[in-house]
Amino acid sequence: MKVMSNDPDMLKEYDFSKGVRGKYAKRYSEGTNVAVIEPDVAEFFPNPDSVNNALRSLIPIIKNRVKIITEQSS
């Protein structure tokens, strides 16, 4: 593998010899959304599915709230 000796951020301890080039390229090209959550919140969500399920459970609440606000302003 090519050594990046001119890149100050690449330390000699980094080992990419088992890396796969483009492993996530297709998924990334289809669009990606990344949200960084704080460690105290991450304790309750062991994986991406648990985060998505929690957010999906909030959607009806948000829709209802928006509906109420819209009706009040009419």
Letter for the amino acid at 3?
Answer: V
pTM above 0.85, yes or no: no
Three-state DSSP at 8 gives: coil
pLDDT at 64: 93
Question: CB of 41 within 8 A of CB of 50?
Answer: no
Q: Is residue 30 part of a domain?
A: no
The predicted-structure confidence for 10-66, as pLDDT tens digits, reads as follows 888 888 889 999 998 888 888 878 888 999 999 999 998 999 999 999 999 999 998
In the chain, the number of structural domains is 1
Q: Is residue 58 part of a domain?
A: yes
Q: Is residue 74 part of a domain?
A: yes
Q: Is residue 67 part of a domain?
A: yes
Question: CB of 54 within 8 A of CB of 37?
Answer: no
Q: Is residue 68 part of a domain?
A: yes
